[in-house]
Amino acid sequence: MIASPQPVEPFDLVIFGGTGDLAVRKLLPALYHRFIDGQIPEASRIIGIAREGLDDDGYRAMLRKALLEGGGDAARIDAFLRQVAYRSLDARKDEGWDEFAKLIGEQPDHVRVFYLSTSPELFVDICDRLGGHGLNQGKARVVLEKPIGRDLASANRINDAVGRVFDESQTFRIDHYLGKETVQNLLALRFGNALFEPLWNAEHIDHVQITVAETLGVGQRAGYYDHAGALRDMVQNHILQLLCMVAMEPPSSLQPDAVRDEKLKVLRSLKPIDESNAAQMTVRGQYRAGAAEGQSVPGYLEELAGGKSNTETFVALKAEIANWRWAGVPFYLRTGKRLPERVSEIAVVFKAVPHSIFDASAGVLAQNRLVLRLQPDEDIKLWLTIKHPGPGGLRLRHVPLDMSFAEAFGVQQPDAYERLLLDVVRGNPTLFMRRDEVEAAWRWADPILDAWAASGEQPRPYTAGTWGPSAAVALIERDGRTWNEESGD
């Protein structure tokens, strides 16, 4: 049985950076799909904001083209776009802001969502102007896209400035990975089944792997990426949030702060990685020319138009959590650009049976694994050892119990942004990061960045289309383990 969509209050959703890649490729399509399912009230308004000198018709034409290319229905797209408008504003200039405030004021009872899909350098200017025009009052909310700062100090400056205009209950720091169906199903698996939670500890789990791999290079994001790198872009936010969902203690309920309190405890329990151990616990790499998806591709430095850069496009880490549940269980984390396949997954690897009763001729007795795939196709696999059917002696096989969400429920799963955008409208912050979570994540990540800078070492080169530097393999194999790369099985 498919759950019916829950209605929301009429709202005004304003997207700063409304002509940008995220807005056109993700946010507007997500809202379009919620419109199709009848979740966007007729009185709601969606307003794109950018510096380009477009009018409503020009903006709608741009979105119509993008939605049609995404497989949308022309008639439904046109109906959706009647709720979409555009205003040209510059966050650092006064022109147009009075008129914009008047437009928003036409619907004083609406929920107001201001989505800052811009460079973090503009967060403060935009919030100051929203506050100056009184748009932070009533049912107003602000959504901050990652990265929030590039270290703890800059994150605090942004959070302080935003906090002077919007209080914490109005502030939604988005991480779209937390909106993915598989991540939320991790909660259901752990806390809704008697099977897993008794085994979810150091006594039964050997290690955990979290992989976020991309086949693409930096492309049009080269300018941003060279000032960020893989640790800031992916590990400090997405991957640490996934780690928290795996490792947190059972919350007392699904109330927002109950869940976020437990995630914060995990972040604060991470063992430090700094100059004393970064060389042993981390690997960073940078891709060179190679092949991706059957085509020759340039290296990172070529995509930067030459020159030198010590920015990492790949990182692998061995993280450890210093608490009773996870003491001695390593969490191997890796992410990178120009890897062999696009895949995001969590692999929970259980300990081997303490004694095998089977002869060597039966085959290898493999460890049980629970693999949660986030993308490209969301599914859950529990790998078990069984007897191969048929006569001829006992032969062991390692096979998955496989549950694909699309096949099991007969519907395409909503994009993460579809869920998260409407959670903001509802005022539900469960799947968003609280300020103290952001601070705790930066407190762990900053010493790693400092250690890399102090070492003076360049990122290790790896060929595009491979799984990163060979040192990343050594990181896990010196512990007698291997990376999970059976995604095609």
Catalytic one of 33, 110, 176, 238: 238
- For the question of residue 398 being annotated catalytic, the response is no
Q: Which amino acid is at 266?
A: V
- Selection from 145, 233, 234, 185 nearest residue 432 by Cα: 145
Provide the pLDDT for residue 247.
97
Provide the pLDDT for residue 79.
95
pLDDT by residue, tens only, the chain of 489 residues: 445 567 789 999 999 999 998 999 999 999 999 999 999 999 999 999 999 989 999 999 999 999 999 888 999 999 999 999 999 999 999 999 999 999 999 999 999 999 999 888 899 999 999 999 999 998 999 999 887 888 999 999 999 999 999 999 999 999 888 888 788 888 888 898 888 889 999 999 999 999 999 999 987 777 778 888 999 999 999 999 999 999 999 999 988 899 999 999 999 999 999 999 999 999 999 999 999 888 899 999 988 876 789 999 999 999 999 999 999 999 999 999 999 999 999 999 999 998 888 887 777 788 899 999 988 878 888 888 887 777 767 878 888 888 765 565 555 567 889 999 999 999 999 999 999 999 999 999 999 999 999 998 999 999 999 999 999 999 999 999 999 876 444
Tokens coding 100:
């914009």
Determine if the peptide bond prior to 376 is cis (ω within 30°): yes
1: which residues sit within 8 A by CB, 6+ positions away? none
Beta strand 11-16 with 111-116 is parallel
Q: Is the dihedral of CA 85, 136, 255, 259 positive or negative?
A: positive
441: which residues sit within 8 A by CB, 6+ positions away? 236, 237, 240, 267
How large is the C-alpha radius of gyration of the chain?
24
CB 129 within 8 A of CB 166: no
388 CB neighbour count, 10 Å cutoff: 13
Beta strand 84-88 with 379-387 is unpaired
Provide the pLDDT for residue 245.
94
Provide the pLDDT for residue 2.
47
Provide the pLDDT for residue 488.
42
CB 70 within 8 A of CB 36: no
272: which residues sit within 8 A by CB, 6+ positions away? 444, 447
Report how far residue 14's alpha carbon sits from residue 24's, in angstroms, rounded to the nearest whole number.
Answer: 13
Report how far residue 117's alpha carbon sits from residue 140's, in angstroms, rounded to the nearest whole number.
Answer: 17
Report how far residue 205's alpha carbon sits from residue 71's, in angstroms, rounded to the nearest whole number.
Answer: 43
CB 450 within 8 A of CB 267: no
Report how far residue 84's alpha carbon sits from residue 82's, in angstroms, rounded to the nearest whole number.
Answer: 6
Question: SS3 of 210, please?
Answer: strand
Provide the pLDDT for residue 1.
40
Provide the pLDDT for residue 116.
96
